Each structure stands twice: as C-alpha cells, then as structure tokens.
Structure 1
C-alpha cells in the first residue's frame, strides 16, 4: 500500500489561469509544474471531436488555434453560482454538464500533482473570491458547494477554502519585519477582491487570524470584462462593428 502524503495541496482555480502548490507538514511550500516547467496554465479544456481526446491548458488552446475540430471551454470558474452550471451541453455526441467539465479540469490538476508528488493528494485548500456572486448569499454559497462537490468527485477527501486576498496577504506577511495594516487588491480574470488586514511577524504565530481581517469585499468584475470592453468598445468599432449603413441600418455582426 502506498503511504499517505503528509501535507496539503493548494489550488488556485482561476478564471483565466490556474496554479498549484504543495505545503509539507513544516509549512514549506513549493509550486507544482503543470505544463513542462510552467507553474501556471490556462483554465481551459478542449474536447477533440476528431479522436475523442481531452486536452487542458496551453495544449487545449493550441488544439483550438490549430484548427482541430472540437469544443474549447474557458472561464469555467465564472459558471460557479450560475444556473447554467447544472445545464448540459453536447460534447462529442454526449450530454455533459458544466459541473462535470469543472470536475474534469480539477481531475487533471490532481493528476499532475500526483505526477510531481508521487502520490495523488487527498487534502486540498482551494482559493475562492470574496464573492462568487454579488449581492446574493444563497447563490454564493451554492457556488462554493458546487466547487466542493467537483473536488470531492475527483478524489479529494478533505476540502477547505481560503479567501484569495487573505491567501495573498499571508504570503506577503512572510516578508514583513514589522506590523502593518495592508490593503490587498486581487484583480482576477472574473472577480476583483479588496481586503484590509493587519499583518506582522508576531501575528503569524496566532492560531486564529479572523480578528486581523478588518474589512473585505469583492465584485464580480475582472480582467475578462476589461478585455471585452476594450475589444467591443474600442477595437472592433474601428473594423466596422455597430456601424450604420447608407440606410441607417446597423451593419450585421
């Protein structure tokens, strides 16, 4: 029997890109390579309809750009908390839910962690935005529960969550030599989070840091939205988008 791993896998499941790190029982963490030596990869899945294979990350994008017949799925995280998550779509002549697609990507991450660690990890801490869904606590809780179910479905037995800006704050704290009050701004692909937190070398020893989080909030707007605004409102109009023809009718898209 393979001995169990003693430590915790950390997953940053991002809208645009994802990354992983392994922390041993002493708290020493190291990033896990995901594609060659790259320690992050696009959160993308490509279902190849020519040979029924599934591809991830840069490989998924390359398959799509290379003209391979199939379906490219990106920004999977933005579906969490949405009614669309349990909807099904046709992939290689089969009905599959978007929840299953999220699980498929997490399974690929766990498999790559196993390749690096020698054993598939069963304990994971997953990052999450302050708000998956703005101003809707029920849908926000549903989003985390959906991510929990996806993680459990691929073999993680102990699953916990950490707010992404708090994770960033704790990493920054390791480089401080005095106590400070810090504003953490996390601009992600699908969400933006803002946190005010008290940090310092002496506070690192505290078991419960809840009192050090002075304020936190977030909005469901991120880099993907900026890309759309830039493309649709600035670049594409230069190429004819939304222009009016001679009869003052809008040019077809």
Structure 2
C-alpha cells in the first residue's frame, strides 16, 4: 500500500513547512507518511492542481504562503474539496502584524536570504580557522583580507572578528628566521594589512603571555633586543609588499577591525 502523502505548498523552497510537518509527524510514527514539496508557488493554477492531487490521494496539505490572497484561496478551495490543510505561517504573520502594529513585507523567501547571510558568515569563520597563523599559504590567494604581523599583534582574534563580518581572512606571522610565503608577494597589496606595534607594548604583552603560561618572563621571546630585531624585519617586509598598516599598540580588536573594514570599503569605492 502506498504511503499517505502530506503535500507541502510554499512560495519559496518549502523547507520551513517541511520541518514543521516532519516534527509533527514524528509524534505519529512518521515512517507511515511521505512528504511532497510543491515549491515556488506563485499562481492559483498550481494550488488547484495540488488540491486535486491531494484529493485523489486522500492526502492532507500544509502551506507557507506569505501573500494573504493565496492563503485565503487555498483555505477556501481545500474546505470545498474536504481536504485537511494547515496554514503554518499565516496565523503567526497576522498575530505579529497586530502586535507590532506594522505591515509585513509579504515577500517570499526572505528567511533564506537571512540563511544565506548566516552561511556566508560560517564559511568565513571556517576560512579564518583553516588559514590561521600561516598554516596553509594557499589561503593567501583566496582571502579577502590578509593580515600580517609579528607574534602577539592579535592577528587571530582580529581574523575571527572580521570573519563574523563575512570577510575571508588569512593571517601570516612575520618571523626573521622564516621567509614569508611567496603567495604574499603575488596578491594585490590593497588586500594586505600590516599590524604595527611599538616595542614597549609588545614587550609587555609577551611578558604577560609568558607568565600566563607559567614560563620565565625573561625568555628570549620577550627580550627587547629580540623584539626590535623582529620589528625591523617586519618593517622591511611591509616596505617590500607596499601594503597599508595599522598601529595596534593601543587599540582593542574591535577598533582595529573597524579600521580594517574602513580601509577595505574605501579601497572598494576607489575601484569603482
């Protein structure tokens, strides 16, 4: 015997309605049902065809239609046909309209525009993790922004902060003993941001870091001569790259992130 069908009618992809139907069916042994989506409905003819199918299969319907005229049409026609039909979104929209004293946009698919925004953010966060601390130089060529700096200039937290703004960020540590990846010299300098810091501030940060790790704060990592050597090497690399710089000596990550975004925005505007 063929499984009974629940027809899911939507003016978008129908994912929301299907999730609600699945959640409800789980209370009734959902193995006894099949869900059939009817997506992107924007005419009465498709609604009538689906009603005929539901009637011939003795099925029920669920729908998420934002336009009131289509909701009323399907309500009226399913009643006439004796079909059980559930308006999943309509009552919520109507209640919100009353409570907020505002008119809804009544545009299909808006939730998926939000989803797209969400997935872009997740993709950017995953990118920042994958190409953190120069672990894979190939990311330099794929990034929207490339951050460079010596150790403890907040490259990683800054990358994550910018990732939540949907920028794909790679960051590269600059160390005298290690040649910068050749990919760094192949990108447009406008994509690269160098994070400068004064030696005294860096010395303090590194000493505190060593203490937090239970290590001797007089280690070479926090030695002032070593720090000056690193910063001189860093400045030479920045000059070769011709990239823009931001002094992070007295800036919070959020403040630096805003400056980076402004630099990128201005660069985009200049390119128009």
**TM-score tier (shorter):** under 0.3
**TM-score normalized by the length of structure 1:** 0.27
Task: Judging by fraction of residues, say which structure has more helix.
Answer: 2
Task: Judging by fraction of residues, say which structure has more strand.
Answer: 1
Kindly name which structure, 1 or 2, has the bigger radius of gyration based on alpha carbons.
2
